[in-house]
Structures are given as structure tokens and as C-alpha cells.
Amino acid sequence: MHRPVPFGKYILLERISVGGMAEVFKAKAFGVEGFARCVAIKRILPHLAEDPRFVEMFINEARVAVQLNHANIAQVYELGRHENDHYIAMEYISGKDLLSLHQYARRTGDRLPVPLAVYVAAKVSEGLGYAHRKTGPDGQPLGIIHRDISPQNVLLSYEGAIKLIDFGIAKARIHSHQTQAGVLKGKFGYMSPEQITGKAVDQRSDIFALGTVVHEMLTGERLFFGDNDFLTLEKVRAAQVEPPSRYNPDVPPVLDEIILRALARDPGARYQSASQLADDLARYLHTSGNGVSSKAMTEWMRSRFIKDIAEEEAKDEHFARLILSAEGELYEEAQSEEDATALWDPMTEMNAGEDDSAPPPHMPADNPSLTAPTPLMMSQEMPSLTTPSPVPSAMMPKATPRPAGLAAAMAQVMPADGDATTRDALTPPPQTAQMLPPGRRGARRDLIIALCVLGLAGVLGIGAYHLLTAEPAGPAPSMIVNVQPTDALQISFDGTYVRNESPLVVQSTTPGAHALKITRDGYKDYEQTVELVAGERKELDIELQRADTSPGRLIVTVKPTDAKVQIDDKDMSPEQLAAGVELPSGQPLLLRATRADYRPSNQTVVLEAGESRQLSLIMQPTDGTLMIDSEPIGNVYINDRMVGRTPFNNSKIDLSGPVKVRVVTEGYKAFEQTVDFGDTRFQHLEIKLEKGP
């Protein structure tokens, strides 16, 4: 068992994982009035702390992630530095990552059911779409690209929550200068074809990676995996993907189409946004009658990992008794009076005063030794954001189990295709915690009380001096916000999501300007800059205005013109599409085109109120015919793979991506051309090779 140690204002309870850049701990954070909660502390490894490149990458992760506030992204609380250690404090997720679920399925044969797998994929897509759309203070998109979507970075909590984590190698517009062309960052088996070639990537690269993760969830098999890294990269480069239904008969054709579109080799043929993918996955769940919810996910997780949950609850009972003094010393709280009475032994009471100088009894092996305190470089405190409800009790709550092995930053420090390693001891060296037996509490209590009185007198003296000499300051301002309607809200204060219903109470914040934003589906966004004065208690009454719901109009042209077109499963004639179809605004609509020998085209459209939009769908043939004649005869390569000699004729050319042709023969210059089939299915090249070296 890992030994808890003080770490500034935190107690590091146990190490979860360690990898090439950082280590992650389950930790206990403390607040006022004895409040405590579990967090995850991600700390850069000591031997990398002196390397500015790794420190900058670590800080960049925090800068990117702290701006993201979404139900499906693990929340980052703060970036701090304790002594020489940079760390990130973030949300602790009690559950398993997808890699652990894959390993569980291989051991037991119990795979995540298709509806639950799609539910996970939809939630991750929602979080990813939010990150992709995130804008900065200037209103411009941040251009965030995760670049490391993988099973280790998708967490499933025992309470049914789905969280995307680890923006450690994410790229944003403000940090794009740090990324060099040709440098591979991420896990090879979850990269996109354009990413492994070192080309510039955009948000569609994340969509390909997510498609890989979902394909593996549905099939239980690695999608791109070779005997070595080179072969794995070659498989990704080719991007030849079989439908998931080939390995799992429970996967229907419509789901095959969604996954294959996400995994298209050509970025232009993929979903153009993660939100489109999320909409299609959610639509599939709805139309297939699989109304999956977080409750179903909770039931599945809790029924499979009963032992893990029980073990973690037992650990948390011990962790709940750990407290951190103002001097940074670590103590374990003695048993409550009720527990002491139940265990009272008259012989112990009789012998209690015989040898008050005897050392305390040896701690049981189950109790970890605790380490010496270290000073903290305190970070700036945030304003208190509360709701009109009772303050939590002093000690850390027990209601939610905290199974070991997961935290919001877990995946960054895990190997790409294996389990994380752990160490049995933490630094600095341990010293024994002070835990007093019932028979000796009286004498020690008198000493402790005397020391506390002396310390309190000193503190009061210093406080009185500052009160007499400091400039008088007014009390902190507060604010109450009442909103109509009262529920299903998204309330943000100074850019941070704080509540989903009215009223909102903001206590003990700073004077000055504060940003308030409130959103609700079907209503116009409300934004206001609120000026607060010291000592003021402001109350705002806000009534949201309904958004315009007038219909929009969609005009569609499609090639080939005889394709079958549907909007939300309703057939549309060419005449209707050319004239324009009146459709409801503000909601996702599925536009689908199908034709024999062509790949289905699916696109999600959301019309603004009163909008008239024109859309063009160009369907891609499944296969094409390529004929090549050359003078003289030469070897033919397609996408860097030799396929024959001229004269060449192949009617099964994969048109899902670019077709790069190369013809070579000794004594002549090589001929190279990327063939564009457009909306046709046939191309004929006649080549006259030039003599050369």
C-alpha cells in the first residue's frame, strides 16, 4: 500500500500510475471548516523538472484543459508548483478506462454491449466537439486538437459518467508554434493517416482516432496493430477498414456506415465535426429503440466491478481519518467517542496511568506510515461559488466509492499499450504518524491544549497588529441570480460553469467586473458584465427570452442525380430538393443519400430560424476502374505499393482516398500522378516515359 504524504495543501494518498512524463496520485484536498474532497494530482517527474521542454508541455496541458468546462471532459482545477514540482490538480474519476475494459473483456469474454458502446462514443464525441468549438477571450476559435484520443484517455465512472481526459499533447491556436512538422506525438495505433506522415492535422484527425476507439469497442479487436511500430504505421497509412459487423454480428448496417465514415482515409470524406458524429450516434440510439442512459451504464459498471468498489471503500474509510495541520503535518484522527466506548476495556483503563512515558503501541501493518510535512507555495484562491443549500460536513464524504487505478489524468502517464507501473514507496522518507491510544489521551491532551493556547495567543497578537496598522477593507461582495425558467440551465460565472438551475449564489468574490452567462435550449443566450462593489449584496432577476423557432429552407443538389435522398428517414423527390424543403430550425436533421455502387452519404444539418441554405452532395463510388498504358513498359505502384506492370487494368480501385500512381522502369524518369476520379468511376492514363538517370 502506498504511504500517504503531505504535498503542500494536499495529502497524496496513493500513486495511481507513473509513465514517461508524469506521475498521478489520488489525493485529498482541504478547505475551510474541515471540508475535504478527493482530487487527482498529476506531478511532473523529478528528472524532467529541469527540462524546459517538458515543463512547457506540462504547463501547456493545464492552459488548454483549464479552459474546458463540459460534462464529458475531466475538469482541471489548478496549475501549481510546490517547491520544485509542477503539478496539476484535477477531477478524480472513480471508475475504469476503456483499456481496462478491453482487458476485462479478454479475460472474461464479457464485452460492453453495443448500445452502451455507442452511448460512450456519443458522449466522448460531445465533449470532443465542445473542445473543438471552444473560443478564446477574443471570440476566436482556440483551434484545440486533442491528438491523443485513445482507450486510456476515455474514462467510465462507476456512476455512469463518461470523461475525456489528457490534453497533454493537445495543440491550440495559441500554442501551435510549438509543434514541428514531421514530429509524431501520440499512440501510433490511434493516429490518423495524415498525422503519421507528419502533415498538418486539424480536428478531423481526432475524429479518425475516435473512430478507431469506437471500432475497437464494438469488435473487441485492435484495428491497427502490427508486430512492430513500422507495421502499425503502415496499417494506419493504408486505412483499410472492415465494417465492425464482420467481427460483431450485433452491429447493424447503419452503425457500420457511421463508423466507416469516421474512419475514411481522406479527411474530406469523414465527418467534418465531432458534433456531427455525436448527432448521428445519438440518432442511431433513438431510432433503434436503445434509449441508453447513465443509469444503464452505472448498473453495468457496478455489476462487473463489485470487488474493486468494495476494496476502494475500505481504503477510503482510512483515508477519511487523515488530516493536515496548519503547519503541514499529517495526522490520523482517533476513533470517535462512540467507537471508543464500544471498544472499552477495563484493564486498559486501570493500566492507563501507570507509565505515561511509555511509547505508543506499534501501528498495525494496514496503517501506512506518514511522512514529514513540507511548505507550500500557495496558489491564488478562487471566489466561493455556492448554492442555497447546507455546507458539507467536515470530513470527506463516504457516499461515492473511489476505486484505485483511475484519475482524470491517468492516461498521460501510462504506456501506450500496457499497464502503468507503480512504486511501493513515495518520497520523502516516512515518519510515524501521531495516533494516540485511549489510555494516554489525557496527559497528551493537556500538553496539546497548552501548546494550542500559546500558539493562539501568538496568532491573535499578530492579527491584532495587522488590524491596527492595515488599511481598512470592506467586506467581500456577494450576488444572488434568479432565472426564469429555473431548470435545464447552463450558468457560467467568469467563464466557469457553476450551476444548472436557479437560483445561483455567489459568495465572497472580489469587487469589480464579473462575466455572467446563462444558456438554455430553445432560448436566447443571456450575457452580462456585472459590477460588484465591496460589501454589496446584489440580486438579479433574469427572464430568458425564447429563441426564434420559425422554419428554415434546405435546397439540395446531389450527384449522381438518380440517388435516393432522405431527410430524417423521409423520402425526397428531386423536384422537392430543387425547389427547397421547409424544415424545422434549431434541431439536427439527418440528410442521407444512397445509390448502388456508391458509398452512402450522411450529413447532419441544423438550420437557423428563417435560414435558406443550399447544399451539394457528391457521392463517392465504392470502386473504380483504372487503365494504364506506358511506353516503354514499366512497373505500376498505387499508393506506394507495387500492383503490376503496364498495360495495367484494375476494376477494384479503392476510391475512399487519393489514388497516387507511380510508373517506373530502368533508364527512364519515374512518372507520378495523383488520379482524381471525381464523380466518375473510370480513368485511363496513357504515359510516354522520358529517358533519364
CA 390, CA 406: separation in Å to the nearest integer? 30
CA 117, CA 369: separation in Å to the nearest integer? 42
User: Residue 114 corresponds to which cell in the numbers above?
Assistant: 453495443
Q: Does residue 244 share a domain with residue 131? A: yes
Q: What is the CATH number of the domain that holds 588?
A: 2.60.40
Q: Does residue 636 share a domain with residue 578? A: no
Percent of the chain, pLDDT > 90?
32
Q: Residue 395 has what pLDDT?
A: 37
Q: Does residue 573 share a domain with residue 676? A: no
- Over 401-461, what HEC string results? CCCCCCCCCHHHHCCCCCCCECCCCCCCCEECCCCCCHHHHHHHHHHHHHHHHHHHHHHHH
Selected catalytic residue, list 97, 148, 166, 206 = 148
- Give the residue from 64, 61, 30 showing the smallest Cα distance to 43: 61
- Give the residue from 402, 419, 421, 423 showing the smallest Cα distance to 151: 419
* Model pLDDT for residues 459-513, shown as the tens digit of each residue: 566 655 555 555 445 688 888 899 999 888 889 888 877 788 888 888 768 888 9
Of 303, 318, 346, the one marking the end of a domain is 303
Q: Is 204 part of any domain?
A: yes
Is the pLDDT reported for residue 432 higher than 60?
no
Q: Does residue 190 share a domain with residue 294? A: yes
User: Residue 223 corresponds to which cell in the numbers above?
Assistant: 484495428
Q: Residue 458 has what pLDDT?
A: 66
* 407 or 362, which is more confident: 407
Of 62-71, 507-516, 548-557, 664-673, give the range with the top mean pLDDT: 664-673
Among 62-66, 154-158, 514-518, the range scoring the smallest mean pLDDT is 62-66
Which residue matches cell numbers 447546507? 390
Among 226-230, 416-420, 668-672, 680-684, the range scoring the smallest mean pLDDT is 416-420
User: Residue 165 corresponds to which cell in the numbers above?
Assistant: 481526459
Peptide bond just before 477 cis, omega within 30 deg: no
Using 50, 70 and 90 to split pLDDT, how confident is the model at 400?
A: very low
Q: Is 190 part of any domain?
A: yes
DSSP string over 274-322: HHHHHHHHHHHHHHTT----HHHHHHHHHHH-HHHHHHHHHHHHHHTTE
Q: Is 400 part of any domain?
A: no
CA 643, CA 385: separation in Å to the nearest integer? 65
Q: Is 521 part of any domain?
A: no
Using 50, 70 and 90 to split pLDDT, how confident is the model at 266?
A: very high
* Model pLDDT for residues 588-628, shown as the tens digit of each residue: 788 889 988 787 888 888 888 888 999 888 787 778 889 99
- Give the residue from 297, 366, 342, 263 showing the smallest Cα distance to 101: 297
Q: Is 518 part of any domain?
A: no
Q: Are 175 and 60 in contact (CB under 8 A)?
A: yes
Among 50-54, 176-180, 519-523, the range scoring the smallest mean pLDDT is 176-180
**Average pLDDT rounded to a whole number, residues 383-396:** 38
Q: Residue 355 has what pLDDT?
A: 40
Handedness of CA 328, 329, 335, 337 (dihedral sign): negative
Q: Does residue 671 share a domain with residue 566? A: no
Q: Does residue 594 share a domain with residue 670? A: no
Is the pLDDT reported for residue 347 higher than 70?
no
Q: Is residue 266 flagged as an active site residue?
A: no
Q: Does residue 197 share a domain with residue 170? A: yes
Q: Does residue 646 share a domain with residue 608? A: no
**Average pLDDT rounded to a whole number, residues 194-217:** 92
Q: Residue 457 has what pLDDT?
A: 63
| Helix (H/G/I), strand (E/B), else coil: 542 | strand
DSSP string over 630-644: EES--EEEETTEEEE
Average pLDDT, the chain: 77
* 197 or 245, which is more confident: 245
Q: Residue 167 has what pLDDT?
A: 75
Q: Residue 419 has what pLDDT?
A: 40
Q: What is the CATH number of the domain that holds 257?
A: 1.10.510.10
Of 563, 597, 618, the one marking the end of a domain is 618
Q: Residue 268 has what pLDDT?
A: 92
CA 632, CA 644: separation in Å to the nearest integer? 14
349, exposed or middle or buried, with CB in 10 Å at 0-12, 13-18, 19+? exposed
**Average pLDDT rounded to a whole number, residues 59-84:** 86
Q: Are 375 and 500 in contact (CB under 8 A)?
A: no
**Average pLDDT rounded to a whole number, residues 617-645:** 87
* 114 or 437, which is more confident: 114
Q: Does residue 243 share a domain with residue 189? A: yes
Domain extent for 569 = 552-618
Q: Is 218 part of any domain?
A: yes
* 533 or 2, which is more confident: 533
Q: Residue 19 has what pLDDT?
A: 63
Q: How many structural domains are present in the chain?
A: 3
Q: Does residue 598 share a domain with residue 627? A: no
Q: In sequence order, what are the residues at sequence separation of 6 or more whose Cβ sits closer than 8 angstroms to the Cβ of residue 396?
A: 28, 36, 37, 38, 316, 319, 320
* Model pLDDT for residues 527-542, shown as the tens digit of each residue: 999 999 988 888 999 9
Is the pLDDT reported for residue 405 higher than 60?
no
Q: Does residue 296 share a domain with residue 261? A: yes
Q: Is 150 part of any domain?
A: yes
Is the pLDDT reported for residue 249 higher than 60?
yes
Q: Is 248 part of any domain?
A: yes
Q: What is the CATH number of the domain that holds 655?
A: 2.60.40.1120
CA 591, CA 576: separation in Å to the nearest integer? 14
User: Residue 459 corresponds to which cell in the numbers above?
Assistant: 496568532
Of 618, 653, 671, the one marking the end of a domain is 618
- Give the residue from 638, 645, 641 showing the smallest Cα distance to 666: 645
Which residue matches cell numbers 452491429? 251
* Model pLDDT for residues 119-145, shown as the tens digit of each residue: 999 999 999 999 999 888 888 888 899
Q: Residue 161 has what pLDDT?
A: 94
Q: Does residue 636 share a domain with residue 572? A: no
* 257 or 462, which is more confident: 257
First to last CA, the chain: 68
